[in-house]
């Protein structure tokens, strides 16, 4: 693919990090979105059934993380459902194991050739 005259010169776009996506190989991470923690609100009622108080408790729902990855080569396949990606999405220094749940292929002028990979954090599943 040729680079248009007006385009940004720092291609390929993305963070300076890569990850290995099962079924795709090494990919450039272009964006990450996901929960670091999740809570739920528990309401308490008084004797008349009116809300009197609430408390915040840790949620038991598994966290989802969405990675937008740029393919290194257009000949690579799509992510393997149930595959595991090891990636430090919080930049804490410790990688999390992410189980691939869904994926969406994006091919257009702005996103070049990217894939949105929705994952569930393995630690939250067990």
> For 10-60, how does the pLDDT look when each residue is reduced to its tens digit (9 = 90+)?
445 545 677 888 888 888 888 889 877 788 888 888 888 888 888 998 888
Enter the pTM of the model. Answer: 0.69
Domains and CATH numbers, the chain: 18-125 (2.40.30)
Consecutive H or E run containing 104: strand 96-108
With the C-alpha atoms ordered 84, 30, 70, 115, is the resulting torsion angle positive or negative? positive
């Amino acid at each position: 693919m040729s680079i248009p005259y007006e385009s940004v010169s720092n291609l390929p776009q993305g963070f300076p990090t890569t990850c290995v996506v099962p079924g795709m190989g090494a990919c450039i991470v272009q964006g990450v979105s996901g929960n670091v923690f999740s809570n739920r609100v528990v309401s308490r009622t008084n004797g008349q059934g009116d809300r009197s108080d609430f408390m915040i408790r840790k949620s038991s729902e598994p966290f989802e993380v969405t990675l937008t990855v740029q393919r290194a080569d257009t000949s690579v396949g799509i992510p393997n459902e149930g595959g595991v990606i090891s990636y430090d999405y919080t930049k804490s220094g410790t990688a999390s194991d992410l189980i691939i749940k869904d994926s969406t292929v994006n091919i257009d002028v702005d996103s070049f050739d990217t894939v949105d990979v929705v994952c569930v954090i393995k630690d939250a599943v067990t």
